[in-house]
Amino acid sequence: MARSGYQQLVFYFVKTVPQTQNQNNSSRSFIYGSIGHIIGHELSHSLDTIGRDFDANGTYREWWEDEWIEQYDQRANCYARKYSKVTVSGWH
Protein backbone atom coordinates (compact mmCIF):
# COMPACT_ATOMS: atom_id res chain seq x y z
CA MET A 1 0.00 0.00 0.00
CA ALA A 2 1.31 3.45 -0.87
CA ARG A 3 2.33 5.71 1.96
CA SER A 4 -0.15 8.51 2.24
CA GLY A 5 -1.34 10.99 4.81
CA TYR A 6 -4.89 10.17 3.75
CA GLN A 7 -4.89 6.49 4.69
CA GLN A 8 -6.19 7.33 8.16
CA LEU A 9 -9.20 9.05 6.64
CA VAL A 10 -10.67 5.68 5.64
CA PHE A 11 -10.41 4.43 9.20
CA TYR A 12 -12.13 7.60 10.39
CA PHE A 13 -15.14 6.85 8.18
CA VAL A 14 -15.38 3.24 9.26
CA LYS A 15 -15.43 4.33 12.88
CA THR A 16 -17.78 7.32 12.73
CA VAL A 17 -20.29 6.90 9.91
CA PRO A 18 -22.28 4.04 11.48
CA GLN A 19 -22.38 5.94 14.79
CA THR A 20 -23.67 9.06 13.06
CA GLN A 21 -26.36 7.09 11.27
CA ASN A 22 -27.57 5.34 14.41
CA GLN A 23 -27.40 8.29 16.80
CA ASN A 24 -29.14 10.82 14.61
CA ASN A 25 -31.34 8.50 12.56
CA SER A 26 -30.11 10.61 9.67
CA SER A 27 -31.10 10.38 6.05
CA ARG A 28 -28.67 9.02 3.49
CA SER A 29 -28.31 12.46 1.93
CA PHE A 30 -27.22 13.89 5.28
CA ILE A 31 -24.69 11.09 5.78
CA TYR A 32 -23.30 11.42 2.23
CA GLY A 33 -23.11 15.18 2.64
CA SER A 34 -21.26 14.76 5.92
CA ILE A 35 -18.79 12.37 4.31
CA GLY A 36 -18.27 14.80 1.41
CA HIS A 37 -17.67 17.62 3.86
CA ILE A 38 -15.05 15.60 5.74
CA ILE A 39 -13.28 14.49 2.55
CA GLY A 40 -13.22 18.03 1.16
CA HIS A 41 -11.95 19.43 4.44
CA GLU A 42 -9.17 16.86 4.73
CA LEU A 43 -8.13 17.22 1.09
CA SER A 44 -7.87 20.98 1.53
CA HIS A 45 -5.10 20.32 4.06
CA SER A 46 -2.98 18.97 1.19
CA LEU A 47 -2.90 22.51 -0.20
CA ASP A 48 -2.48 24.56 2.95
CA THR A 49 0.81 26.09 4.07
CA ILE A 50 1.84 22.88 5.85
CA GLY A 51 0.41 20.24 3.52
CA ARG A 52 2.07 21.76 0.47
CA ASP A 53 5.43 20.67 1.91
CA PHE A 54 4.61 16.95 1.64
CA ASP A 55 5.57 15.32 -1.64
CA ALA A 56 3.69 12.54 -3.48
CA ASN A 57 5.26 9.93 -1.17
CA GLY A 58 4.19 11.73 1.99
CA THR A 59 7.74 12.89 2.73
CA TYR A 60 8.00 16.29 4.38
CA ARG A 61 10.22 18.50 2.25
CA GLU A 62 9.95 21.87 0.58
CA TRP A 63 9.54 20.88 -3.04
CA TRP A 64 7.62 23.83 -4.48
CA GLU A 65 9.59 26.32 -6.53
CA ASP A 66 9.88 29.84 -5.10
CA GLU A 67 7.68 31.22 -7.90
CA TRP A 68 4.90 28.75 -7.02
CA ILE A 69 5.08 29.69 -3.34
CA GLU A 70 4.88 33.39 -4.17
CA GLN A 71 1.82 32.86 -6.40
CA TYR A 72 0.18 30.61 -3.82
CA ASP A 73 0.74 33.14 -1.04
CA GLN A 74 -0.69 35.97 -3.16
CA ARG A 75 -3.82 33.98 -3.95
CA ALA A 76 -4.24 32.73 -0.39
CA ASN A 77 -3.96 36.29 0.92
CA CYS A 78 -6.54 37.43 -1.63
CA TYR A 79 -9.02 34.84 -0.30
CA ALA A 80 -8.21 35.76 3.28
CA ARG A 81 -8.88 39.44 2.61
CA LYS A 82 -12.11 38.69 0.76
CA TYR A 83 -13.59 36.31 3.31
CA SER A 84 -12.45 38.26 6.35
CA LYS A 85 -15.06 40.85 5.32
CA VAL A 86 -17.92 38.35 5.14
CA THR A 87 -20.34 38.31 8.05
CA VAL A 88 -23.22 35.97 8.69
CA SER A 89 -26.14 37.40 10.59
CA GLY A 90 -26.50 35.78 14.00
CA TRP A 91 -22.99 34.30 14.02
CA HIS A 92 -19.88 35.69 15.63
Question: Tens place of pLDDT for every residue, the chain, 92 residues?
Answer: 344 555 555 556 555 665 555 555 667 787 788 788 888 888 888 888 888 888 888 889 999 999 999 999 999 999 999 999 988 887 65
**How far are the Cα atoms of 9, 70, 80 from residue 75, in angstroms, in the given order?**
28, 9, 9
Asked if 7 contacts 18 with a C-beta cutoff of 8 angstroms, the reply is: no
Asked if 63 contacts 56 with a C-beta cutoff of 8 angstroms, the reply is: no
Q: pTM score, two decimals?
A: 0.57
Q: What is the largest CA-CA distance in the chain?
A: 50
Q: How many CB atoms lie within 10 A of CB 72?
A: 15
Q: In one letter, which amino acid is 7?
A: Q
